[in-house]
Amino acid sequence: MTGPELALVPAAGLGTRMRPATRVVPKALLPVVDRPAVQHVAEEAVRAGVTEVIFVVDLGVGSLIRDHFTVGEPLPGLENLKVRIVVQEEPGGLGHAVLTARESIGDRSFFCLLSDNIVRPGADVLPSLAAASDGGSVVALREVGEHMLDRYGVAIPGERRGSELEVLGAVEKPGIENAPSNLGLVGRYLFTPEILEALANLEPGYGGEIQLTDAIDFVARRGRCRGVVGDSDLLDIGIPLGLLEAAVVLGLSRTEFRDGLTEFLRSLEELR
Ligand code: G1P
């Protein structure tokens, strides 16, 4: 099955875990190797067949992100990508950010990619989400360690066949005590417009915010959600150590940097 041609990228957020880098520069524009985080995410979406990306951003930074994609020479591989900016005027959580784009999404299905997470080279997950869809929503999952159960949304699993399963519900950051499984939501989703309807009717949840995971729970309880369990983690560029790791992993995957970077890393090992 072919996937949606629309992707939504929630890229708002104050980036408090990346201070002082994010005092002036929006975190979505922090570079990983030679391009900002949002470009990595847009390229991933385009590899999955997306032709339009909607970025949800904070007040005041929309023009910077738009300019990155539209000013000057077209970005290689993204020449035909339509970029739209939606401003989330006040912080209200991830679910609220997605709902902010409701009008621009309309009645289309869409991929949703969290811009704090970058896929490892060769480990794209969007095509497997499209392949697993039976007309409802699909979430990317990964078996996570116990210490991650208070950092991720966690799925309530139903019947599983290989890497695909029915999702019966989802809980935001349940912690080890309340986790219904060890299957974490890793920040890649395929949604039908039903998710917007669910979000519009939600009360604030975990942390007093409108949670995307609660909307997933709503559609899952109606039998409208499946999951795909991947075996590769995503790179968390929302924290300094993750950003460093991402630069190394993505740097090593680039032929022009591989030899020099490998040599440099080996030289560090010799120092120890
Ligand atoms: C968000 C989601 C959470 C998901 C996580 C993936 O949390 O709310 O369900 O598991 O992204 O990275 P955040 O990292 O914004 O706290």
CATH number of the domain encompassing residue 225: 3.90.550.10
- pLDDT, residue 128, reads 97
Q: Is 154 in the pocket of ligand 1 (CB under 6 A)?
A: no
> Could you tell me the residue range of the domain that residue 163 belongs to?
6-271
Is 223 part of any domain?
Answer: yes
Mutate to test the pocket of ligand 1, among 9, 16, 94 (most ligand atoms within 8 A of CB): 94
Residues 191, 139: Cα–Cα separation, whole Å: 8
Determine if ligand 1 sits within 6 Å of the CB of residue 115: no
pLDDT of residue 191: 98
Q: What is the structure's pLDDT at 218? A: 98
* CA-to-CA dists, residue 173 to 41, 152, 178, 181, 250, angstroms: 24, 5, 9, 12, 28
Q: What angle do CA 199, 140, 48 make, to 5 degrees?
A: 100
What is the number of the ligand 1 atom nearest to the C-alpha of 234?
12
Phi, psi of 181 (to 5 degrees): -170, -175
For each of the chain's 272 residues, which pLDDT tens digit applies?
589 999 999 998 878 899 999 999 999 999 999 999 999 999 999 999 999 999 999 988 888 999 999 999 999 999 999 999 999 998 889 999 999 999 999 999 999 999 999 999 999 999 999 999 999 999 999 999 999 999 999 999 999 999 999 999 999 999 999 999 999 999 999 999 999 999 999 999 999 999 999 999 999 999 999 999 999 899 999 999 999 999 999 999 999 999 999 999 999 977 66
Query: Which numbered atom of ligand 1 lies nearest the CA of 236?
Result: 12
Is residue 246 domain-resident? yes
In ligand 1, which atom is closest to the CA atom of 94? 8
Which atom of ligand 1 approaches the CA of 117 most closely?
12
CB 6 within 8 A of CB 43: no
Tokens 């040599």 label which residue? 263
- Is the CB of residue 217 below 6 angstroms from any atom belonging to ligand 1? no
Cβ partners under 8 Å of residue 183, min gap 6: 141, 142, 143, 144, 154, 155, 157, 227, 229
What total of structural domains would you count in the chain? 1
Cis peptide before 157 (omega within 30 of 0): no
Residue 208 lies in a domain: yes
- DSSP-assigned beta bridge partners for residue 191: 110
Q: Answer yes or no: are the C-beta atoms of 137 and 196 closer than 8 Å.
A: no
Q: What is the pLDDT of residue 272?
A: 65
pLDDT (0 to 100) of residue 63:
86
Which residues face 11 on adjacent strands?
Answer: none
- Position 1 in a domain: no
| Residue 134 CA to ligand 1 centre (angstroms) | 25
Is any atom of ligand 1 closer than 6 Å to the C-beta of 181?
no
